[in-house]
Amino acid sequence: MIEIKNLTKVYKLTKKQMAEQKTKRNIKKAADNISLSAKKGEIYGLLGPNGAGKTTVLRCVATLLNPTTGEITVCGCDTVKEPKKVRESISFLTNEIKLDPQFSPKYMFNFFGRLHGMDDKTIDERRELLFNYFGIQDFRDKKINELSTGMKQKASIAVSLVHDPEVVIFDEPTNGLDIVTARSVTDYLKLLKEEGKAVIVSTHIMSEAEKLCDRIGIIINGRKVMDGTLSEILKETGTEDLEDAFFELYKEYSKEEA
Ligand SMILES: Nc1ncnc2c1ncn2[C@@H]1O[C@H](COP(=O)(O)OP(=O)(O)O)[C@@H](O)[C@H]1O
Ligand SMILES: [Mg+2]
């Protein structure tokens, strides 16, 4: 479903970015030869600290960035050669894409539904389903800029799923949510997996990766340093929980310059 082969993404840095990132080099290798796959009916988790390269990888999968080298296919379509086809089959959620502040969740939902070529009846049905599930009905007609962080995040998630896509790409989906709302989001991801969708999420929360993901890829300094099921990772690192496993790998790989 999602196949990433030898993905490398190099950013050119401005002087300001060089200063911010405390580096003398004017390039940053944010993803370094990453290969991984997420299949139908599976949740794959990218786990790594801030700046590890998770968002970069997911933006490449979602066709918002082109890889510097390497290839990505989504449902058999190449993200660079057939970006339109890829976009039809994916839902992409990121903290960087904001809903338009003066519109309401309902308006945005309908707007994106039409953008995906859906008819009004199908849009209404999807909206009822998702707005009920995420508890959006009470504030569906309020302006986005009047909503709390949690409400906005729920609305973004519902809007991103309007077209019932085969592939779901969620970048830190529970960021800024209270535990109840966060749980409803991770439960929904499990539901999508049971429906046979391929799901890829990023997180820096160990317990979330542990509980939610069928397979986990640990990303440090742009490199995938290990992946597998939780038990495979624990076995390989000789540890008893994911946090210990992560720190074992972090000790080993964090000093290497990407
Ligand atoms: N547009 C950009 N230009 C330059 N550097 C970037 C850009 N986006 C991200 N980076 C850098 O690339 C690295 C990986 O970032 P990112 O993919 O956002 O990591 P994560 O999502 O794991 O926190 C970081 O060092 C970040 O500062
Ligand atoms: Mg990120």
pLDDT in tens, 235-250: 999 999 999 999 999 9
> For domain 2-97+168-253, is the CATH number 3.40.50.300?
yes
Residues whose Cβ atom is located within 5 A of ion ligand 2: 54-55
Q: Which ligand has the nearest atom to the CA of 51?
A: 1
pLDDT tens digits, 11-37: 999 999 999 888 889 999 999 999 999
Is pLDDT above 80 for 39? yes
The Cα–Cα gap between 216 and 44 comes to 6
Question: Structural domain boundaries of the chain?
Answer: 2-97+168-253
CB 30 within 8 Å of CB 58: no
Q: What's the number of CA atoms in the CB half-sphere (13 Å) around residue 93?
A: 28
Distance 201 CA to ligand 2 centre (A): 11
Look up the pTM and report it: 0.95
| 51 C-alpha to ligand 2 centroid (Å) | 7
- Angle at which helix 149-160 crosses helix 105-115, to 10 degrees, equals 20
Pocket test for ligand 1, best of 4, 11, 22 (most atoms within 8 A of CB): 11
